[in-house]
């Protein structure tokens, strides 16, 4: 009789276990494929599974300054949802990379951390070589949102033995773009109106308008004290929209007759330098264009010393300029003072704006943590990439951060109050969502139109992250050549009396100082990677 009772108890236990397993198979834990159009579930409406001991994960980024996991409703929700306890580790923007490197060197690599990843190729590949980073590709099949996100960046895996060791952090999540642009040509609209000029559309228009700004007294003070346009320090780089208008660049390559050739030594680059040299000689280009800090350049634009500048122009920057103009001219609508040009029609009749890969920075998982932590770290990234996770990170928890009127999100907290909860920064482990603007964003309509004016023409770098073996090419050579380009090009713009001759001399020097080796190594590796 006793044995029969034991068998009955055992049978009931097995039945209950099977029922639990079947019920578990019918749940997807709130996850959804990245990019699906299904409406996101409302965080807070889920049934969560209690666990006595959450798994602790240390998470590092510069964005967690002032974060306290104990005080955040977002952290508490994630703890219940994923059975994790997050331990944020942070540093200031000025020293976060140094702090991360110190932690790693001392054997205290965080469980999950943001780094520049492939943008620091020597360091990143050394981490991989030393088996410090979890190969995400090996786990992607189990985490559909991670898999879908990585699929957008297969060209990066080619540089690391066809495996991803970090998750690229999307700029424009779900846009499907290979390249994005957050820059623009900003212009004084009030000066255009004063001189009866139209917005420049072509590179020739750009010259005519900039010349008028320098010579036509657009500020009405009867003095010749304005310049057509200016830029800021950082080498020759900030001139790239003008190089693009001549269908060239100082740092990209083009394919000619089956071979990759550097645009920096092309005839189109020579012609761009002739154009810039003319602007400088005619006092259209601010003579301090290479010495300005970004702040000084912006100040000259705001105070009416220059009429055109190239700069970052996303929502944050646009509204910063808007506020600065409002402060400087309190009785005038800033929209009547400044606007944007977008992408110029170039010499070939085409529009080109060199874009940047649709990600910035990457998130890695420590390969040497226990399996339980690896699993939870992957679950965290997969959840943050899901439509539910993204909605949590952008809007918060219903009833705490927002309410709903039908499908409309109505914020309960102000943006300033939300910024105080650093848990919202967890979103940036997977996506910046730079294309997402809440309805409450000031000047949203103008910002969307401005972003399209360059973003729609952004082209990716065809040889981005080409993995040239250091044994094939000394890594110092490209850096030295870049220094040579900055030095010689500025000199040509400012001093040259015969640009074609000076450019020919530069080209010869560039090739002799390692350029020929760079061309050979680049073509060899490009063939290996199928570029």
CATH number reported for the structural domain that contains residue 88 in this entry: 3.40.190.10
Whether residue 325 is found in the same domain as residue 221: yes
Residues 224, 331, single domain; the answer is yes
Cα separations in angstroms, 344 against 233, 250, 277, 315, 395: 23, 18, 19, 21, 37
CB 277 within 8 A of CB 221: no
Is 363 found in the same domain as 301?
no
Q: Annotate 135-148 with b (16+ C-beta within 10 A) or e (fewer).
A: bbbebbeebbbbbb
Model confidence over 165-210: pLDDT tens digits?
A: 999 999 887 677 888 998 999 999 999 999 999 999 999 999 999 9
E runs forming strands in 388-520: 402-405, 408-411, 458-459
- 428 assigned to some structural domain: yes
271 occurs within a structural domain:
yes
Which of these, 137, 153, 164, 88, lies nearest to 360 by C-alpha position? 153
Domain termination residue (choose one: 418, 434, 450): 434
Same domain, 87 and 155: yes
Task: Tell whether 392 and 502 lie within a shared domain.
Answer: no
Write down which residue in 399, 434, 469 finishes a domain. Answer: 434
Query: Residue 332 is encoded by which pair of tokens?
Result: 């005038």
Is residue 336 domain-shared with residue 363, that is, in the same domain?
no
pLDDT for res 174: 67
Name the stretches of the chain with pLDDT < 50. 1-51
Cβ neighbours of residue 519 closer than 8 Å, sequence gap 6 or more = 260, 261, 262
Q: What is the pTM of this model?
A: 0.77
Which structure tokens are listed for 530?
Answer: 């199928």
**Residue 419 and residue 519 in one domain:** no
Residue 353, Ramachandran bin (φ over 0: left; ψ between -120 and 50: alpha; else beta): beta
Residue 384 is assigned to a structural domain of this protein: yes
Q: Do 336 and 232 belong together in one domain? A: yes
pLDDT digits (tens, 9 = 90+) for 293-337: 999 999 999 999 999 999 998 888 999 999 999 999 999 999 999
Give, in degrees to the nearest 5, the angle at Cα 424 between 419 and 425.
95
Structural domain span for residue 254: 196-354+459-528
Q: How far apart are CA 293 and CA 287, in angstroms?
A: 13
Of the residues 400, 434, 468, the one at which a domain ends: 434
> Is 25 part of a structural domain of the chain?
no
Backbone phi, then psi, for 260, in 5-degree steps? -85, 135
- Specify if 295 maps to a domain: yes
Residues 442 and 247: their CA atoms lie apart, in Å, by: 35
Q: Looking at the domain assignment, is residue 350 inside a domain?
A: yes
Bridge partners, residue 55, by sequence: 84
DSSP state of 366: B
Q: How many CA atoms lie within 13 A of 508 on its CB side?
A: 6
- Clarify whether residues 165 and 87 are in a common domain: yes
State the Cα angle at 523 between 522 and 529, rounded to 5°.
90
Within a domain: 8: no
Please report how many Cα atoms fall inside a 13 Å half-sphere around the Cα of residue 214, on the Cβ side.
20
Inter-CA distances, 452 with 206, 260, 435, Å: 20, 30, 10
- 250: buried, middle or exposed (CB in 10 Å: 19+, 13-18, 0-12)? buried
Task: Report the C-alpha gap between 101 and 107 in whole angstroms.
Answer: 10
Verify that 171 and 249 share a domain, yes or no.
no
In this structure, the answer to whether residues 469 and 511 fall within a common structural domain is yes
Q: In this structure, are 465 and 345 located in the same domain?
A: yes
What local confidence, expressed as pLDDT, does residue 159 receive?
A: 85
Domain count, the chain: 2
213 found inside a domain: yes
């Amino acid at each position: 009789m006793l044995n029969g009772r034991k068998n009955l108890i055992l049978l009931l236990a097995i039945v209950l276990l099977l029922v639990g397993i079947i019920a578990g198979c019918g749940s997807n834990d709130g996850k959804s494929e990245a990019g699906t159009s299904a409406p996101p579930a409302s965080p807070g409406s889920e049934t969560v599974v209690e666990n006595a001991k959450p798994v602790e994960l240390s998470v590092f980024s510069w964005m967690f300054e002032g974060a306290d996991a104990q005080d955040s409703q977002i952290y508490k929700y994630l703890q219940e949802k994923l059975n994790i306890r997050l331990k944020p580790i942070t540093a200031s923007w000025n020293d976060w990379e140094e702090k991360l490197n110190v932690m790693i060197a001392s054997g205290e690599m965080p469980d999950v951390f943001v780094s520049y990843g492939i943008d620091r190729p020597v360091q990143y590949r050394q981490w991989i070589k030393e088996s410090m980073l979890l190969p995400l590709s090996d786990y992607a099949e189990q985490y559909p949102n991670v898999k879908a996100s990585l699929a957008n960046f297969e060209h990066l895996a080619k540089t690391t033995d066809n495996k991803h060791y970090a998750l690229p952090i999307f700029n424009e999540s779900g846009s499907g773009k290979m390249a994005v642009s957050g820059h623009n040509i900003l212009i004084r609209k009030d000066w255009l109106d004063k001189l009866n000029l139209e917005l420049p559309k072509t590179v020739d228009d750009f010259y005519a308008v900039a010349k008028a700004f320098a010579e036509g007294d657009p500020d009405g003070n009867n003095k010749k004290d304005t310049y057509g346009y200016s830029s800021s320090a950082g080498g020759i780089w900030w001139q790239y929209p003008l190089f693009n208008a001549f269908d060239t660049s100082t740092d990209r390559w083009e394919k000619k007759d089956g071979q990759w050739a550097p645009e920096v030594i092309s005839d189109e680059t020579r012609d761009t330098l002739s154009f810039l040299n003319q602007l400088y000689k005619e006092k259209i280009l601010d003579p301090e264009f290479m010495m300005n800090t970004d702040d000084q350049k912006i100040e000259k634009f705001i105070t009416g010393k220059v009429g055109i500048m190239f700069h970052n122009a996303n929502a944050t920057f646009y509204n910063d300029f808007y506020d600065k103009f409002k402060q400087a001219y309190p009785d005038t609508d800033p929209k009547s003072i400044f606007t944007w040009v977008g992408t110029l029609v170039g010499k070939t009749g085409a529009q080109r704006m060199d874009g940047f890969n649709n990600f910035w920075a990457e998130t890695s998982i420590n390969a040497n943590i226990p399996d339980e932590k690896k699993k939870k770290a992957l679950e965290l990234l997969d959840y943050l990439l899901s439509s539910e996770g993204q909605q949590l990170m952008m809007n918060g928890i219903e009833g705490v951060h927002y309410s709903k009127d039908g499908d409309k999100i109505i914020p309960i907290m102000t943006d300033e109050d939300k910024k105080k909860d650093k848990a919202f920064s967890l979103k940036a482990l997977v996506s910046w969502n730079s294309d997402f603007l809440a309805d409450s964003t000031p000047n949203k309509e103008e910002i969307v139109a401005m972003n399209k004016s360059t973003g729609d023409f952004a082209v990716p770098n065809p040889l981005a992250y080409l993995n040239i073996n250091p044994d094939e090419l000394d890594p110092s050579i490209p850096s030295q050549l870049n220094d040579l380009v900055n030095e010689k090009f500025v000199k040509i713009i400012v001093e040259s009396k015969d640009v074609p001759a000076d450019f020919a001399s530069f080209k010869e020097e560039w090739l002799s100082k390692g350029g020929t080796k760079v061309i050979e190594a680049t073509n060899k590796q490009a063939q290996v990677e199928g570029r």
